[in-house]
């Protein structure tokens, strides 16, 4: 079982997908939003939730008895997305990548998995890869849209899988083949959960507690089936599948 530190956790989509493989266990979250922390505490009772990635360090987790094998997370996309000011990693929100890479450097995990909008391919990916290289990591990346697993929307996202330099890894062929199969065929492992493209969630404040928060944070979450796909490829490459 690979232990996971989930950064920028949101409502836990990354951890949900990885844990569905049966080979990953989240041992700590880091999430600044109070509503998201309540969701995480409900579904992962007893798992520590750190609030501020700016303050989190390997020493703090070591003091709490934690040394994760995997660090994952989708760092903020507001400065990378075409809908924003397009400041890239120079922006205050997407610039939090600095702390993501800092923690990878401090922990030196077996694997790091990074997610962001597809626009990072031309607005920050070179910097991300350079930062990973500087702290001793090689990486591969794939753009996998949500519609490949049956969602009624495109939602293209870039997924980066990094591992220490000099360690042979074979994720790429497995992930690339699985992604290509998804693009061509129906999802092979789980029936599509979406029956209609019509939203059943009201997008305005109608007086129901947490309705707007739920809508917003669902929109920010990763689609769990894609981390599940990546997680299965990692387990195969690590020789951890049964």
Nearest to 103 by CA among 167, 164, 56, 42: 56
Q: Which candidate in 30, 36, 77, 158 is catalytic?
A: 77
d(CA 98, CA 131): 9
Residue with tokens 């790091």: 112
Number of other residues whose CB lies within 10 A of the CB of residue 173 = 12
Give the chain's largest Cα–Cα span.
56
Q: What gap in Å lies between CA 240 and CA 226, rounded to an integer? A: 19
Sheet holding 156-164, edge to edge: 49-50, 24-30, 2-7, 70-74, 111-117, 156-164, 137-145
Coil vs helix vs strand at 21:
coil
**Beta-carbon contacts of residue 242 (< 8 Å; ≥ 6 apart):** none
Q: Which DSSP helix (H) or strand (E) runs through 138?
A: strand 137-145
Question: Among 237, 236, 225, 239, which residue's Cα sits nearest to residue 18?
Answer: 225
Q: Is 77 a catalytic residue?
A: yes
Residue with tokens 């809508």: 215
Task: Report the alpha-carbon distance of residue 140 to residue 224 in Å, rounded.
Answer: 20
Q: Catalytic residues, which ones? A: 77
């Amino acid at each position: 079982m690979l232990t996971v530190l989930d950064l920028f956790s949101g409502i836990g989509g990354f951890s949900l997908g990885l844990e569905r493989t049966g080979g990953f266990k989240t041992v700590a979250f880091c999430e600044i939003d109070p509503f998201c922390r309540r969701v995480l505490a409900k579904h992962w009772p007893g798992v520590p939730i750190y609030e501020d990635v700016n303050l989190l360090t390997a020493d703090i987790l070591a003091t709490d008895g934690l040394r994760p094998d995997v660090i994952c997370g989708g760092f903020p996309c507001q400065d990378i997305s075409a809908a924003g000011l397009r400041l890239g990693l120079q922006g205050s929100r997407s610039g939090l990548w600095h702390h993501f890479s800092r923690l990878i450097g401090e922990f030196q995990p077996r694997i790091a998995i990074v997610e962001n909008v597809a626009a990072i391919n031309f607005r920050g990916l070179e910097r991300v890869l350079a930062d990973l290289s500087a702290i001793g990591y090689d990486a591969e990346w794939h753009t996998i849209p949500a519609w490949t697993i049956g969602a009624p929307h495109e939602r293209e996202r870039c997924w980066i899988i990094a591992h220490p330099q000099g360690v042979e890894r074979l994720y790429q062929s497995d992930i690339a083949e699985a992604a290509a199969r998804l693009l061509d065929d129906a999802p092979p492992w789980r029936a599509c959960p979406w029956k209609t493209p019509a939203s059943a969630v009201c997008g305005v404040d109608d007086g129901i507690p947490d309705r707007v928060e739920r809508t917003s944070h669902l929109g920010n979450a990763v689609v769990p089936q894609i981390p599940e796909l990546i997680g299965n490829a990692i387990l195969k490459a690590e020789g951890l599948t049964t």
